[in-house]
Every structure is written in structure tokens, then in C-alpha cells.
Amino acid sequence: MPTTGRVLKRLLVGRAMRSDRLGETLLPKRIALPVFASDALSSVAYAPDEIFLTLAVAGGAFATTHSWQIGLGVVFVMLVVVASYRQNVHAYPSGGGDYEVATVNLGPRAGLTVASALLVDYVLTVAVSISSGVQNAAAAMPFLRGHEMPIAIALVVLLTAMNLRGVRESGSAFAVPVYAFMFGIIGMGLFGFARAAFGHLPQAESARFTLLPEPGSGGIMGFAAMFLLLRAFSSGCAALTGVEAISNGVPAFKKPKSSNAATTLLLMGTIAVTMLMSIITLTRMTGIKYAENPATQLWINGHPVGPAYQQDTIIGQLAKTVFSGFPVGVVFVSIVTGIILVLAANTAFNGFPVLASILAKDGYLPRQLHTRGDRLAFSNGILILAGAAAFLIFIYNAEVTKLIQLYIVGVFVSFTLSQTGMIRHWNRHLRTERDPKVRARMMRSRIINSIGAVMSGTVLLVVLATKFVKGAGYAIAAMVVLYVLMQAISRHYRRVREELHVAETDSDAQLLPSRVHAVVLVSKIHKPTLRALAYARATRPSVLEAITVNVEPDETRSLQQEWDRRDIPVPLKVLDSPYREITRPVVDYVKSVRRGSPRDVVMVYIPEYVLGRWWEQVLHNQSALRLKGRLLFTPGVMVASVPWQLRSSEGVEDRLDRPRAGSIRRGS
């Protein structure tokens, strides 16, 4: 890596860490909560919006009447899921999370399904959270409007750089804003309810609008209304994304890992539920009107408000209403909401690379993903996640309402399979467990997980039914592609492993070749050539000869003359090459040697000169490299590079040897 690249990397990524410092990066609860729960908590910033705008398709009255029912439905699902996952973290403290639970209890296919779902979901978490964050920030900073997409992508890049620095610093950096967000939202709730109690809670600015149903959906009733309610419920379930993050992240907790994780999970659930219901209730009390297409759905004095009306997010509108006359509060809530949403994406930056690394270790993903970078973070996974999220943000132009249609499917696929797996887990343990106390606890857990499984499965069906054509289909397609890909990779690794395996009784593989036939490739007589000849002679092979390829007869002739003049004690053989190739005559010659004495091994010595700079490499013929690559396909041949270090390479040696330079390590 050139110096500037390394300096830049050091600035962005920090100094490399020893692997025994991995322990030091474990998180206490007060840091784990913001790191792992920011996703679940932050989703209250967009889940209510999606509930209200979906209901608003049937008009304002419909939205006001039904929003609290939807809210309660979501809260109920949330509590069931939190209770279920508290069983998981105790039973599986290793951090494989849903993937491990499904694999162990339902088999590798179920595990791989969960893995595909989670991978897709992490990408969507980043895309949705960051897009929503930018949208919320725009409420306080209107000049951002119209530039949401590039800003969102820039934020993805920023998060990527932060995460390449490693998990610990991320934790401390994110604690303050997450706590500020809790303080802001819960504070706003308390303040709002207090004002209402004293009869001072004003109406929102958008309360004066009439929210008309979308054309063609006026007077929605019966089945259609039911379908709309279910769709709103699906969208509201976005609040549940991120609950599984803690169960995937158990190993990052301080000890006792499991019970710390379970406590954090409960804390998170309580806070999320509180915030969600506060927001829904306050939205109804302040009469906020929120629509998917405000320009045509919101009317005032018999006219639509038109495209000039800029609809703030619900939290933005709430802050302006609740904190009317107290602008510091408004700005505070808007800013911390924007920040927490961006940081929520960080949950995925913690989860995705760890899961990818586990999958790589299990042979489902390329091994490079099982490699920690300089800062003990899984660099490759982080980069893939960031790339995929940036792609989605670009494609969907950073619009939350569109992105959210793809979301949630993944989460509930993994919830369902994970909870089903847990039922099997308890069944298996109950078969052997004799202690009645432990049995009672297990049976209690099994009931909780069964409720969780049924609930998650039902929600999954609802989500699929109401969102498939709106985008969830794409998410399913991506999962299928990932599933097939990971199966293929796994099959490839298995095949190679089987092919390379040596049976204990196999003695063929250790068979010694009878003789070594050494061949030194010569193009010119210069220092690298002479060194290669000297080294080859030092190995005392059975046969030693130099070969040159006759591409230009004049050069070959003068080479032969110099060879004789210098009295080099190795015979020089000239290979003809009518097609001016270099590789083929050498390969053919090597094969003819092998044909002559099949039990010999041929050692081809290639003199190489080593240059220090990449552009220098471009300037030199790549024929040695090409020849090496080609000879590897020929059985019975070894290829030995004899390097000659040119002066320009000396600096590189030093640079490469500097401790903790840009090298890559295997994960643990």
C-alpha cells in the first residue's frame, strides 16, 4: 500500500489491535443497550408514520379511529417477541442467534433460510434507518430537502469508516445520542401529557386540514377495510425489527453474558413500547393529519394543499406542537431523532459482519469474510453491507415508504423459524432432564416460545399477504438468491475438502519422486539469472539444465555466445517457438521430460526481479507471471521463484515490516 493510502487508513481506521485485546472490547449493559437496541428503539421514528399514512388511505377519521388498535397490536407482538427471545439468549449464549437456533434444532436448511433472511434484513435496516434519519433531519434543516439520496449515501460511507475502526469505540460514540433520544421522546411524551392534563395541549398545525381518502378508496368497508388494517399493522411491525440484534450479539456482552443480554432485551422492549404508544396517543390528541400523498389528500377550504406543502414527519410535527413556545425542545427532538436513526443502522453494522463471518466459518460464504481487519472488525462484511445498502438507497431514492415495503419479511421469517426451533430445543432437553424444577422452567419456556412461534408465523403471513406485490416480493427473491448461492458455495467447499482428504491408510500421497530434474529459465544473462543458476546448483538436483526460448534468433545467438564466453557450468538448451510464444514451448518441454521418466519431479526455476512500485510492475513483461500460472496446471512440476531485489524494492521491505501495517488477519 502506498504511504498516503496507509496514512489515510490509519486516520480512518486507527491502529491495529492484538487479538488478545478482543476481550477488552466486551460491552457493559449501559453501552450494549445503545449499541444493540438503537435499531429497535429508533423504529418508533418511522413505524407510527407508516401506520398513520397507511390508514389515511381510507381518510382521516379512519386513521384516528383505528390507529390505537394497530398500536396495541404492535405492542402485543413486541412483548411476546421480547419474552420469547429472553428464552433464546439463555439457551444459546454463543451469538449465532436465530441462525444457530434454527440450524441446531431444525437442520442446516432452516438455518440457511434464517441466514438469508437476516442478511437481507440487515441491509434493509441500514437503508431504511438512514433514509428515515435524513428525512427527520430535514424537518429541522429544510435545506436538506431534495438532496436526501446523496446525503444518505454519504452517511453510509461515514458509518462504514466508523465501524472499520472496531466495535468498542462505536459503542461509546453511540451511547450519548441514544440516551439523548430516549430522554427526548419520553420527555416529550411526559410534557405533552402534562399539558393535556392541564388542558393546555395545542392542536397541531396539520389539524386544520381535512384528510380525504385516496380516490377510489372512499368509504372503505368490510374486507377492504380489514385488509387496510392488516397492512397498517404490517407496517407498524417495523417497530420490531432489531429485537433479534441482541440475541445475535450475546458474545459482545460482559459476563454473565446471557442474563445481561436478557435484561437489556427486557429494558429495550419496555422503552420501545412506551415510546410507541406515547407517540400514537399524542398524535391523535394533537389531531395531526399524515398522508402518503399530502399534496392531494390534505385539503383546506375546499382545495388540496398542493405540492408546495412540506409534510414533516410525525415526530417533527409532534415536537413542534408539544413544545410550542419552547423552540429548544423542538430542535433537540428533531436532531436526536435524526442522529439515532443514522446510528440505528449501526446495529446492522454490528450484526451483519458477525453473521457473515459465522456463515463463512461454516463454509456458506467465501472465507475472506471470516477475516478480521486491523482493528479486529470484520472489514469485508462491513464493506459488503455498506455497498448493498447504498445501492438500495440509490435505487429507491432514499424514500422510507418504498423501502419499508421490502422490510420486515426477513425479520419475521427468522423470528418464526427461530421460535419453532426453540420448541424443538425444549422438547429435546425435556426428554433427558429429570430435575422437576428445571423441567418446570423448561416447560414454561416452551410455552412462551410456542406462543412466539405462532404469533410470528401469523404476522409473517399477514406481511406477505399485504405487502408481497408492494415490494416484499423483492426481499423474498433476494433471500432465495442468497440461499441458492450459499448452498452452491457450501457444495464447492465440501467437494474440495473431500478431494483433498487423505485417508489414514493412504500411502500414495507420501510417495517420494525418484529424482529431481531441475530447469532454469533464461532470457538474458543478468544478475537474477546468475543467482537462479547458483541457487539451483546449490540444491544438487539429479539433472540441471538451463533453457531459453528462441523467439528472436539474433538474441538467442548472442545469448549462446555469451554463455560460452562466461563458461557457465550448466548446459543451455534452446527451445524453438515458431509462434513467438514463451509459455507453450516451456510447458511442452516439461511435459516431455515427465513423459520420459514419470517418477521424476521437475523443478522449474524462474529468475525474477522485484520492483518496489506498482507502476514499475506494469512496465515489465508479465511473461514470468503468466508462465508460473500456466505451469501450476501441469502435474509433477514445482515452480520456484528466485527473486532478485532491485534497489527500489528496499523501501517496500521496510514498509511491509513496520509493525501493524495494513495486513489482514484470520478471525477467531
Q: Which is nearer to its own copies, 83 or 568 (CB)?
A: 568
Shortest distance, CB of residue 170 to its own copies, whole angstroms? 21
Cell numbers at residue 546, please? 538451463
DSSP string, 251-319: GGBPSSHHHHHHHHHHHHHHHHHHHHHHHHHHHHHTT----SSHHHHEEETTEE--TT-----HHHHHH
Secondary structure class of 372 (helix, strand, coil): coil
Q: Which is nearer to its own copies, 412 or 483 (CB)?
A: 483
Helix (H) or strand (E) holding 595: helix 583-596
Cβ burial 623-633 (10 Å sphere, 16+ → b, else e): bbeebbeebee
Which CB sits closer to its own copies, 368 or 427?
A: 368
Q: Which position among 303, 538, 595, 596 is part of the footprint of its own copies (CB under 8 A)?
A: 538
Q: Which of 391, 531, 563, 597 binds its own copies (CB under 8 A)?
A: 531
CB of 123 to its own copies, least distance (A): 21
- C-alpha cell belonging to residue 290: 399524515
The yes or no reply on residue 595 touching its own copies (CB under 8 A) is no
Q: With binding defined as CB under 8 A, does residue 635 bind its own copies? A: yes
Q: Is the dihedral of CA 147, 153, 156, 161 positive or negative?
A: negative
Count of residues interacting with its own copies (CB under 8 A): 95
Out of 541, 548, 556, 589, the residue judged to bind its own copies by CB under 8 A: 541
The CB-of-666 to its own copies minimum distance in angstroms stands at 5
Q: Which is nearer to its own copies, 79 or 570 (CB)?
A: 570
Residues numbered 637 to 666 that lie near its own copies (CB under 8 A) are 637-647, 649, 652-653, 656-657, 660, 663-666
Contacts for 559 with CB less than 8 Å, ≥ 6 apart: 522, 523, 524, 525, 548, 572
C-alpha cell read off for 162: 466508523
**Interface region with its own copies, contact rule CB under 8 A, candidates 13-21, 172-180, 349-357, 411-419:** 13-21
Which residues of 173-228 form beta strands (DSSP E)? Answer: 210-211
Instruction: Report d(CA 344, CA 34) in Å as an integer.
Output: 9
d(CA 406, CA 472): 4
| 578 is a contact residue toward its own copies (CB under 8 A) | yes
Angle, helix 436-467 to helix 409-432, in steps of 10 degrees: 160
CB of 504 to its own copies, least distance (A): 7
CB of 251 to its own copies, least distance (A): 16
Q: Is residue 634 a contact residue for its own copies (CB under 8 A)?
A: yes
CB burial of 242-259 (b: ≥16 within 10 Å; e: otherwise) equals: bbbbbbbbbebbeeebbe
- The least distance separating its own copies from the CB of residue 458, rounded to whole angstroms, comes to 39
Q: Provide, rounded to whole angstroms, the least separation between the CB of residue 134 and its own copies.
A: 34
Kindly indicate which of the ranges 153-161, 243-251, 305-313, 615-623 contains the residues binding its own copies, using the contact rule CB under 8 A. 615-623
Nearest distance, CB of residue 24 and its own copies, angstroms: 14
The nearest distance, CB 6 to its own copies, in angstroms, is: 15
Instruction: Considering the complex, state which of residue 255 and residue 580 has its C-beta at the smaller distance from its own copies.
Output: 580
Spatial CB neighbours of 303, under 8 Å, sequence gap ≥ 6: none
Q: Which helix (H) or strand (E) holds 93?
A: none
Check binding of 611 to its own copies (CB under 8 A).
yes
158 makes contact with its own copies (CB under 8 A): no
Helix H or strand E encompassing 576: strand 572-576
Alpha helices, H only, 362-435:
379-395, 400-403, 409-432
> Is position 539 an interface residue for its own copies (rule: CB under 8 A)?
yes
615 three-class SS? helix
Question: What phi and psi, each to the nearest 5 degrees, are found at residue 27?
Answer: -105, 135
In Å, what is the CA distance from 343 to each residue of 176, 404, 407?
A: 11, 18, 18
Interface with its own copies (CB under 8 A), residue from 232, 533, 559, 593:
533
- The residue among 255, 248, 279 whose CA lies nearest residue 351 is 248
Cβ at position 366, least distance to its own copies in Å: 5
Report how far residue 595's alpha carbon sits from residue 103's, in angstroms, rounded to the nearest whole number: 51
**Residues contacting residue 209 through CB under 8 Å, at least 6 positions apart:** 289, 298, 299, 300, 305
In the set 134, 333, 601, 624, which binds its own copies (CB under 8 A)? 601
Measured from the CB atom, the residue of 417 and 486 that comes closer to its own copies is: 486
Interaction of residue 582 with its own copies, rule CB under 8 A: yes
Which residues in 469-528 contact its own copies (CB under 8 A)? 489, 492-493, 496, 499-502, 504, 509-516, 525-528
Per CB under 8 A, does 540 bind its own copies?
A: yes
Find the shortest distance in angstroms from Cβ 57 to its own copies. 44
Residues numbered 345-384 forming contacts with its own copies, rule: CB under 8 A? 366-368, 372
Sketch the per residue contact string, 436 through 475, with its own copies: x for CB under 8 A, - otherwise: ----------------------------------------
Q: Give ∠ CA 193-194-196 in degrees, rounded to 5.
A: 60
User: Does residue 580 belong to the site contacting its own copies (CB under 8 A)?
Assistant: yes
Q: Is the Cβ of residue 457 or residue 643 nearer to its own copies in the bound state?
A: 643
Q: How far is the CB of 16 from its own copies (least distance, A)?
A: 6
Q: Which is nearer to its own copies, 245 or 360 (CB)?
A: 360
Q: What are phi and psi of 548, to 5 degrees?
A: -135, 150
CB nearer its own copies, residue 429 or residue 655: 655
Which C-beta is closer to its own copies: that of 457 or that of 662? 662
Buried b (16+ CB within 10 A) or exposed e, 277-308: bbbbbbbbbbbbbbbbebeebbeeeeebbeee
Our finding on whether 112 is near its own copies (CB under 8 A) is no
Binding residue for its own copies, selected from 461, 534, 557, 571, defined by CB under 8 A:
534
Interface residue with its own copies among 143, 198, 223, 579 (CB under 8 A) is 579
